[in-house]
Each structure stands twice: as C-alpha cells, then as structure tokens.
Amino acid sequence: AVLAFAFLIVLSGCGDNLLEGVSDDDSDDAKMEEARMALDDADYGRAAQLLNDLLDGNPTDPQALAYLSHACAGMAGLDTLDLLTIIDELDENGRSGSIDMVGLVLGDEEGDVAAGEVIDKLDHLNDAIDNLEQIEANNGSFTDDQKVQRGVLAVARIAMVIAEVIMADQGSGDSIRLTEAGLEALYSGSPDFEGDVSTAHQESLADDIEAVQAAVLVLDEIGSDNDLSEDFQQFEQDLNPDDNTIISIEELEAYVAGLVGG
C-alpha cells in the first residue's frame, strides 16, 4: 500500500492545531495559524492572502513559503492524499507510473481538463514551485521533505506541460482527457510536436526531471514498500530513457507514442 509520508503533510493538510491558544489575533503566529486552518479547509485563496501578508513582513520565512506553495498547489487542484490513493489503484491494475495519476487528480473523475484550466493550473503550479524554490535559494539547499514536495509538484507540472503541448499539436479544443486512454483517442500514430514545444516548456521539463530524480533518491532511502518512489521513477524513466536532465522534442514524441501505441 502507498505510504502517506509524514513530511508530505504540508501538501495534504497541516496537522493538529499547534498554535492553539494564541491570543493576539494580529500577531504573525495568529496569522500563520489562521492560514494553516484555511489550508485544512481547502480555502486556498484565503490562505494565500494571509501568507502573502506574512511574507511582506518576512520574505524569507520558510514555513510561510512552504504553506504558500501548498496553497498554490491546492488552487491547481493538487491534493496529495488523492494522488496517493490513485497511485495505489493504478499499481493494483498494473499501471504504475501512468500519466493517469496526475490527470485523475488535476482533472475531473474522467481526467478531463478544460483548455483554460490547463493554463491556470500551470500558472498555479509555477507559483507553487517558485515559492518552494525560494526556500532553497534562501537556505542553500532543500531538506529531504522539501525535495519530496518539489518532486510531487514536478510530476504534476510535467503532466500539465504535456497536456499543453498536446493541445497545441491538436489545434483548438475545449478540453483534454489526461489519461492514457484519453490520449490514445487523439492519435492513430506517432505525434509530431515540432513547433509545439517552447523553450520555456523544455526548461521547466529539465528542472522537473531533476526534481523527480532527487525526490526518488530521498524516497528510496525510506525503505521498501515505497509505491510513490516506484511510480515517480517509472514516470520519469518513461519520459527520460537516457537518464539525463534534458527532455528533447523527440523524447516527448516517443513518450506520447508509447502511451498511445504509436
């Protein structure tokens, strides 16, 4: 079964009321607690507002940055507990590392994501990653839990970049079904992404592949029965068979062709 790791708590809810009893409603601690409660209630917009206010006074506060990263991920629709549940179901059906693990979290129950939502979700994921990476910039490195958090965000953003590329390749469309079955319905042969992959796409893919690799290393140190590590590693290797940190247009084409049997 999937292990719901304690250090992923910032992506799936923030735990007990650690600041219970704070009496000064105007204090930073009280604002942090209100933001934590908003995250627990999935009120991500309110949480982001409170956390941005805190960061105005202390731009390097690591907890505020981590929570703001979670709020942005939440606005993209990323729920780690849902991700863990779906990964478990996919593993039971022999589909480890499938793109379905993201499509069924960020999309609806069928994995459908509207065209406009692809852009919005990418924007929120970019913000989530930017806030988390600010912690690394301030401290010089990530902690292990932050590496895993960054890996979760990376897998989500990779899938949404692929969705954006496919929608550009297919022309105008109202939505995309971000599952293997949904993509197979779009292609009868190998895709041709020439002109559909921007420099920004390739830069984010390179950063995210490296982040997934780093997360897998951390997860592997935890021990056996680690489905999250196995699925992330399979996802990364399917997309990046030469094991470097550059995803070429040809590799993107080969990845999608492999999904659809082209």
Average pLDDT over all residues of the chain: 86
Q: What is the pLDDT of residue 65?
A: 95
Q: What is the pLDDT of residue 18?
A: 42
Q: What is the pLDDT of residue 72?
A: 96
pLDDT exceeds cutoff 80 at 1: no
Is there a contact between 71 and 52 (Cβ–Cβ < 8 Å)?
A: no
Pick from 19-33, 105-119, 197-211, 212-226: least confident:
19-33
Q: What is the pLDDT of residue 2?
A: 37
Residue 229's pLDDT band, with cuts at 50, 70 and 90, is: confident
Query: Residue 79 carries which side chain, given as an amino acid letter?
Result: D
Percent of the residues in the chain that have a pLDDT greater than 70, as a whole number: 88
Q: Which of 256, 217, 213, 215 is nearest to 238 (CA)?
A: 256
Average pLDDT over residues 107-126: 95
Rounded-to-integer distance, Cα 222 and Cα 18, Å: 26
pLDDT exceeds cutoff 90 at 112: yes
With 0-12 / 13-18 / 19 or more C-beta atoms within 10 angstroms meaning exposed / middle / buried, residue 25 is exposed
For residue 113, give the 3-state DSSP assignment.
Answer: strand
pLDDT exceeds cutoff 60 at 12: no
Rounded-to-integer distance, Cα 150 and Cα 137, Å: 14
Q: Which of 178, 198, 196 is nearest to 186 (CA)?
A: 178
What are the tens digits of pLDDT across the range 53-73?
A: 999 999 999 999 999 999 999
Q: Which residue has the higher pLDDT, 117 or 80?
A: 117
What are the tens digits of pLDDT across the range 148-188?
A: 999 999 999 999 999 999 999 988 678 999 999 999 999 88
